[in-house]
A and B are shown apart, each in its own frame.
Chain A
């Protein structure tokens, strides 16, 4: 606190007017402005110099402060958005609180917009200097608060993005709490067969990553768990994680799988999007990490067969398992919750859910998969015969500008349809394959070449136009009516199988996650980044980052790149060890607060809580971002925003308007 102003010390302001070469001095009379500044209250001295921001200009200020001539500084020059940080450092170096500094913007807001009106620019410059003096006289010294950043990160979602971010952070030495809702990590990528445009097998590149996550010491993996509660602020989040009961002792289970063999309950397997079966005791798929079993209590009939010692030798079955709550403290959070597939049932014209041979892209992926329900010998659902003709319809649930439609492009569908078409063509070269599209968007590295080759070398037919109607003929064959907009004619094609290339949508519970973490969502429902170009992985809540499709549709390389970006953002915060909070936060004057709670509902950052014993509002300065909305709204004037208090703002307004003079002089 040594650099804070002592109480009742006389205010001695130094005003430094910058010529800025000819940018200011070429338009207004700087010596006259300097003379004018000397006449203002509390001003001890006023000087001019060619370039105040140069080291000589900075030294001028320092010398005057060290000589005791001044204790507050105004620089009348450019915008505070330009050089305020520069001059704050200058005054701080010689022991003046950096918030006892004010800039008068006489370049961007005066000379540059009035290059030919010298008198007018001079008038505005005078007003701006006078307003700055009035505000500076009212300013109070402030301390930059620093909060400690806990060197641990919570990663929500263990798909390809969450896993990569976790591995990066663990390698850098930070503790990572990786929370996954499902019984296995891997996310949607585990469901894919091959990946475009390289056609490498998804499982071959993903499963080693999954094993890495399971093995990494610094990663505390919590599968079958959900984040229940998040409190606190950047550097100090208190997180409660609910571990759902597995009903199988995860320590004791050896993953032998005898129980699943014996279990009499057969139900649809979510991992196979309903195309395959599993038992009530299950692992989602053979390569799942962790490989221990879980009982689906909704489906289980509690027959107890699995619990017998002949079936489960390690005696791992626990029918009385209870949810467990784990509290962890983390400094940063990465949200990588992924996506849901668009449900095309509402688009009745395509007959999804009505005709068995109309399927969605993810179902096609499982049918094609070598470890899927048909073991890589794709067939159509109605008769399990390999289809001779397949149609793919693009942009289902994307680029729809009708009311309620998703207007965005899902970015992956053009390429996954092309990939699936090519995969089928490789096995059945005689099959006819049609892709109905609006535009083909092959934007990534190697994508255009992949698309070109699909048409040229594999004979996949691309038809520009949308399907208007689908109906069923004999043997569940499909007849589709479409428009070929290039030939400008109506066409009718008989298909054995129709694949709807459905887009990606935000997770159904994205709203809950957003309110849990107080982060924002954009109009499309995905989580919103702090800046679309310069801060694409940050959220507006400090310390919380987003990665993968949770932020918006993207392919695997982009999701991984963003995960690395988010990990690096989180790591740089944790490496610093502390976080500086801008001291523009608001403060409640206890003696004035009437406890009306008006402010509480206005704060978008949940920074205001209510002390029921004292009956007053309390502002958490670490959560407060310093907008001042509460200060403006408080009916009792009990909230003061630091550096922008009523006293300071009204001091400016009260001196802003000069008395009407007969003639203005001083202009060149």
Chain B
């Protein structure tokens, strides 16, 4: 069937995901996932900043421009920020930015914005699995250069 054929084509595709995580929550959550040996598809690379407040939309744009198939932006839950309220600034910026992506002609599903605490390695694992599945449906980033 057509749908199955389509899915098969995408199965060969190995999405490249860049994670931009804050040091105190999501990066620590990713460490916890590792320490607990929670298995996930090998698609996520992680860039660490100290706080969600340091994350800029430009970082996401640059990653997409360089060919990342997906960007996962994640920090502490609201109220948990190590720096009191840095994450609240990103909490406002990111959803708006994701809305704008569509106007740039970028599929907004390429950017995922989540909140994962230091104890939520299991949640992070599920998020990555889900994201990989979604990206396989979308297909590769056309901006990715070939060798």
Chain B neighbourhood of A222, CB < 8 A: none
CA distance A419 to B139 in the complex (A): 71
CA distance A105 to B44 in the complex (A): 12
Q: Mark A631-651, 1 if CB is under 8 A from B, else 0.
A: 111000000010010000110
Chain B neighbourhood of A649, CB < 8 A: 47, 49, 59
A154 interface residue, CB < 8 Å from B? no
Distance from A33 Cβ to chain B, minimum over Cβ atoms (Å) = 15
Chain A neighbourhood of B59, CB < 8 A: 649-650, 653
CA distance A196 to B106 in the complex (A): 67
Q: Select A128's contact among B45, B56, B66, B147, beta carbons within 8 Å.
A: B45
Report whether B48 and A80 are in contact in the complex, using a CB–CB cutoff of 8 Å. Answer: yes
Q: Which 4 A-B residue pairs are closest in the complex by CB-CB distance? A: A120-B42, A108-B34, A629-B53, A628-B54
Q: Mark A91-119, 1 if CB is under 8 A from B, else 0.
A: 00000000000000101111011111101
Report whether B147 and A662 are in contact in the complex, using a CB–CB cutoff of 8 Å. Answer: yes
Given A108-B31, A650-B62, A654-B66, CB of A114 within 8 Å of CB of B56 = no
Report whether A108 and B30 are in contact in the complex, using a CB–CB cutoff of 8 Å. Answer: yes
Report whether B42 and A117 are in contact in the complex, using a CB–CB cutoff of 8 Å. Answer: yes
Chain A neighbourhood of B41, CB < 8 A: 117, 120
A589 interface residue, CB < 8 Å from B? no
Within 8 A of B (CB), among A28-48: none
A448 interface residue, CB < 8 Å from B? no
Within 8 A of A (CB), among B58-116: 59, 62-63, 66-68, 82-86, 89
CA distance A461 to B8 in the complex (A): 73
CA distance A128 to B45 in the complex (A): 7
Distance from B68 Cβ to chain A, minimum over Cβ atoms (Å) = 5
Chain A neighbourhood of B27, CB < 8 A: 81
Given A653-B18, A659-B145, CB of A124 within 8 Å of CB of B44 = yes
- Closest B residue by C-beta to A135: B47
CA distance A128 to B147 in the complex (A): 19
Within 8 A of A (CB), among B111-138: 125
B9 interface residue, CB < 8 Å from A? no
CA distance A135 to B110 in the complex (A): 25
A384 interface residue, CB < 8 Å from B? no
Given A113-B33, A632-B55, A661-B147, CB of A124 within 8 Å of CB of B84 = no
Distance from B116 Cβ to chain A, minimum over Cβ atoms (Å) = 14
Chain B neighbourhood of A660, CB < 8 A: 67, 140, 144-147
Distance from B24 Cβ to chain A, minimum over Cβ atoms (Å) = 9
Distance from B127 Cβ to chain A, minimum over Cβ atoms (Å) = 13
A627 interface residue, CB < 8 Å from B? yes
Report whether A629 and B89 are in contact in the complex, using a CB–CB cutoff of 8 Å. Answer: yes
A109-B30, A113-B34, A649-B49 given; name 4 further pairs at CB < 8 Å.
A629-B86, A633-B53, A641-B50, A657-B67
- Closest A residue by C-beta to B128: A113
A123 interface residue, CB < 8 Å from B? yes
Q: Select B35's contact among A112, A120, A605, A628, beta carbons within 8 Å.
A: A112
Report whether A108 and B147 are in contact in the complex, using a CB–CB cutoff of 8 Å. Answer: no
- Closest A residue by C-beta to B124: A113
Report whether A625 and B40 are in contact in the complex, using a CB–CB cutoff of 8 Å. Answer: no
Report whether A602 and B47 are in contact in the complex, using a CB–CB cutoff of 8 Å. Answer: no
- Supply 16 A–B pairs (Cβ within 8 Å), ascending by A: A79-B31, A105-B31, A109-B46, A112-B35, A113-B39, A115-B39, A604-B86, A605-B83, A605-B84, A625-B83, A627-B86, A629-B83, A649-B47, A657-B63, A657-B144, A660-B140
Report whether A629 and B147 are in contact in the complex, using a CB–CB cutoff of 8 Å. Answer: no
Chain B neighbourhood of A116, CB < 8 A: 39
Q: Select B40's contact among A114, A641, A650, beta carbons within 8 Å.
A: A114
A431 interface residue, CB < 8 Å from B? no
A652 interface residue, CB < 8 Å from B? yes
Could you tell me how many residues of chain A have their Cβ less than 8 Å away from some Cβ of chain B? 50
Within 8 A of B (CB), among A429-470: none
A584 interface residue, CB < 8 Å from B? yes
Given A131-B45, A602-B89, A604-B86, CB of A81 within 8 Å of CB of B63 = no
B5 interface residue, CB < 8 Å from A? no
Chain A neighbourhood of B7, CB < 8 A: none
CA distance A631 to B90 in the complex (A): 13
Q: Mark A260-284, 1 if CB is under 8 A from B, else 0.
A: 0000000000000000000000000
CA distance A105 to B30 in the complex (A): 11
CA distance A60 to B14 in the complex (A): 37
Chain A neighbourhood of B23, CB < 8 A: 81
Report whether A112 and B37 are in contact in the complex, using a CB–CB cutoff of 8 Å. Answer: yes
Report whether B45 and A113 are in contact in the complex, using a CB–CB cutoff of 8 Å. Answer: no
- Closest A residue by C-beta to B140: A660
- Closest B residue by C-beta to A629: B53
A626 interface residue, CB < 8 Å from B? yes
CA distance A55 to B51 in the complex (A): 33
Chain B neighbourhood of A114, CB < 8 A: 39-40, 42
Given A540-B84, A660-B145, A660-B146, CB of A653 within 8 Å of CB of B89 = no
CA distance A152 to B107 in the complex (A): 59
A520 interface residue, CB < 8 Å from B? yes
Q: Select A627's contact among B40, B44, B83, B145, beta carbons within 8 Å.
A: B83
CA distance A5 to B66 in the complex (A): 32
A656 interface residue, CB < 8 Å from B? yes
A64 interface residue, CB < 8 Å from B? no
CA distance A116 to B37 in the complex (A): 11
Q: Mark A235-255, 1 if CB is under 8 A from B, else 0.
A: 000000000000000000000
A121 interface residue, CB < 8 Å from B? yes
A127 interface residue, CB < 8 Å from B? yes
Report whether A632 and B62 are in contact in the complex, using a CB–CB cutoff of 8 Å. Answer: no
CA distance A116 to B40 in the complex (A): 10
Chain A neighbourhood of B68, CB < 8 A: 656-657
Given A604-B85, A660-B146, A661-B147, CB of A627 within 8 Å of CB of B54 = yes
